[in-house]
Amino acid sequence: MSKLVDEVEVPGVERERRRSGGREARRAMRAAPLDKSARPVRPGMPSGNYRPLTQNDMERIHEAALTILEDIGMGQPIESCIEVCTAAGATYGEDGRLHFPRALVMETVRDAARDLTICAQDPAHDMTLSGQKVHFGTAGAAVHIVDVEKREYRESVLSDLYDAARIVETLDNVHFFQRPLVARDIPDPVDLDINTLYACLLGTTKHVGTSFSVGESVGPCLELLHMIAGGEEAFRARPFVSNSNCFVVPPLRFAEDACHVLEQCVRGGMPVLLLSAGQAGATAPAAIAGAVVQAVAEVLAGLVYVNAISKGHPAIFGTWPFVSDLRTGAMSGGSGEQALLSAACAQMAHFYDLPGGAAAGIADSKMPDVQAGYEKGITNVMAGLSGLNMVYESAGMHASLLGFSLESLIIDNDMLGQCLRCVRGVEVNDETLSLASIKDVCTNGPGHYLGHEQTLALMQTEYIYPVIGDRTSPKEWVEKGRPDIVETAIAEKNRILSSVFPRHISAELDSAVRKRFDIRLAAAGDR
């Protein structure tokens, strides 16, 4: 704005007045940060304005999902799953499949948990999942780190996970941290799960989501959480970690190891993301509507399962179908079809009035480039406009979830800020209609709004500005050395990683954790 003010051709005193207005604007931008409630974008803003499905479409998808659960059912249930589900009203047929009567499914939907508070270690980062409130975060299981400076991929390690968590701690528009990569330097699955959990918790005070490779991991990880929370009762009161659980192997089969994990997490008081991740054209129907139907059916089955163990347990409706490039069978997470799938899945969660989560922001591009930008922008903004409660994998991902970039985390924070501004939409009221301002400018003022009282008042509350994105003129850009956004992100990554070391876990507690568990991440004094 200040550049425009200086370039407006107005005579003498009036031009100086406009320049003064520009200086006021710059001072306003340097003022203390606004309270969260006054910021132009913030976690949990409601949306739902984009609706690819009509009401009739949703009802037909719902009916098709009920038919699948009743007639086809779910294959390969473990014994304990059969026991709790049949006790609730499901039937186990001679075909070896669990069948779920419509009445049981609908009774479960009515009794399921709603209006969830998803807790963080710092209550300032708690998220309320109700209605169409939108939150963006990370997720995934990338096995490579994108080395942007060398333009190559390398295997991800535990310290990369800690670094990602530290960066997310600083990003306003990334609201939660679900493990986005796998520590490939820890081969034992139990050690991997314990160290993954601790690296995430050490790096950020935001809500953490994680997966467990095997059921044997759950007990020690719950013990670790109890230590950090100050006891089991304290953790159950404010569970700041959720379990992302792929309890199904699409199409329509239960996953044995994940089901053992699911049961322990539910009984341990941990919220669960019921995640169905079929791939359209491969493990789910190629038809977009059919992929949504299958995902809805699988997650409804999971909802019955969870509520049969513990009625009203906090569970996120994780319809999470992916897309295939049907020419090759390769995953295509940055496609328009993926954006439609995620938005349609958000609508189905709203149809049941359940907290919903799905994926967006999954670039197929291998580097933070133009392709990554349009893929992430399209999928994230459509997910946000659909009112998806939890948008997973929204930042940092590349190569269809195989690669994770720390620089992209920082770039994507800017992108998500713009997505959230679209989510917020346009407020129309007596003040924003601006009749008084228009009259003042046109009858008393210079004929433009630069430096006007209303303009200055709205600079921080109505508009969001990029943190690292460049809005300078070409002349200024040249004077600054022609930086590009990737170079700026590299510099910001280095600044964060050299200066941000969260201290919310005390040295005494950290020492106690290390005495109890084989923690591979270097202690604070050794980093």
- Determine the pLDDT at residue 3: 37
pLDDT at 49: 87
pLDDT at 319 (0 to 100): 97
Peptide bond into 251 cis (omega under 30): yes
Cα separation, 5 vs 450, whole angstroms: 6
What is the residue whose two structure tokens read 């609201």?
175
pLDDT at 13: 42
Please tell me the pTM assigned to this model. 0.92
- Which stretches of the chain score pLDDT less than 70? 1-33, 525-527
Percent of the chain with pLDDT over 70: 93
Of the candidates 344, 345, 409, which has an alpha carbon nearest to the alpha carbon of residue 376? 409
Region at 117 (left for phi over 0; alpha for psi -120 to 50; beta for the rest)? beta
Contact present, 320 and 277 (Cβ < 8 Å):
yes
Indicate left, alpha or beta for 451 from its phi (over 0: left) and psi (-120 to 50: alpha): left
**The dihedral sign for the CA sequence 150, 151, 152, 155:** positive
Which amino acid, one-letter code, is at 420?
A: L
Residue 396: which residues within 8 A CB-CB, separation 6 or more?
A: 138, 140, 164, 180, 404, 405, 406, 408, 409, 412
- Tell me what pLDDT residue 526 has: 62
Token pair belonging to 119: 């807790």
